């Protein structure tokens, strides 16, 4: 079992970046005491006085234009943990799942995921990624089919003996002969 001093020393040497700067704010005698280090880091990076701010950010979180679904999910999870630090993990996961769904831009996707009744945030993210992949594949399939024009029997058709039809029939006959001469002659 590690002593408070050993845990503090290990934590102190493991810090990098802004977290390491917290060491400079502590008196020298407290820099290797685990509980003092943890307290200083919590005050700097997750102050309990800011939970209300995190709750507002959590509730207002929406998917950004260039943000992937896993990135959105990770952001919602982080805000859930900051907004409700004392809530049980299962409750935070449920809140994060609900906020993730509310944050989605695509309302059809939101509805389909809700109908699937995901158990938690990870389940909701997985379903969203799958639906996004299916939607992209379907969109590509529709684009590859080209542009088709639907007609109905109500539309006027040219009479077979009209001048416009005769010209176009004559042109088509000429084209057909050209094709036959160029490709089917021995």
The percentage of residues in the chain with a pLDDT greater than 70, rounded to a whole number, is 82
Q: Point out the least confidently predicted range of 10-14, 15-19, 167-171.
A: 167-171
Please report, for residues 21, 68, 166, 180, the alpha-carbon distance to residue 174 in angstroms, rounded to integers and kept in the order given.
84, 56, 12, 10
Checking if the pLDDT of 153 tops 60, the result is no
Task: Say whether pTM exceeds 0.75.
Answer: no
DSSP result, 42-82? HHHHS-GGGHHHHHHHHHH----TT--HHHHHHHHHHHHHH
Over range 72-80, report the average pLDDT.
Answer: 96
What pLDDT sits at residue 146?
A: 61
What does the angle CA 35 – CA 38 – CA 43 come to, to the nearest 5 degrees? 125
Residue range 39-56, pLDDT digits in tens: 888 888 766 678 888 999
Q: Within 13 Å and on the Cβ side, how many CA atoms surround 118?
A: 24
Over range 163-172, report the average pLDDT.
Answer: 65
Q: Which tokens go with 22?
A: 């917290």
49-142 CATH choice from 1.10.620, 1.20.1530, 3.10.310, 1.10.1200: 1.10.1200
Q: Which tokens go with 40?
A: 């200083």
Distance of alpha carbon 84 from alpha carbon 79, whole angstroms:
8
Residue boundaries of the structural domains of the chain: 4-45, 49-142
Over range 99-104, report the average pLDDT.
Answer: 97
């Amino acid at each position: 079992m590690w002593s408070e001093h050993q845990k503090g020393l290990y934590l102190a040497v493991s810090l990098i970046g802004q977290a390491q700067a917290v060491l400079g704010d502590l008196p020298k005698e407290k820099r290797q005491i685990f509980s003092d280090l943890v307290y200083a880091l919590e005050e700097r990076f997750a102050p309990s006085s800011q939970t209300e701010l995190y709750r507002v950010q959590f509730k207002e979180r929406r998917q950004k234009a260039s943000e992937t679904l896993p990135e959105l999910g990770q952001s919602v999870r982080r805000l859930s943990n900051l907004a409700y630090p004392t809530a049980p993990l299962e409750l935070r996961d449920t809140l994060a799942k609900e906020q993730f769904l509310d944050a989605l831009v695509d309302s059809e996707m939101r509805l389909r995921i809700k109908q699937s009744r995901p158990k938690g945030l990870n389940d909701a993210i997985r379903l969203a990624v799958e639906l996004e992949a299916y939607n992209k594949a379907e969109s590509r399939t529709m684009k590859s089919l080209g542009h088709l024009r639907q007609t109905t029997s109500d539309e006027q058709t040219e009479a077979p003996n009209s001048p416009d039809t005769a010209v176009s029939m004559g042109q088509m006959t000429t084209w057909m002969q050209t094709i036959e001469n160029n490709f089917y002659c021995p």
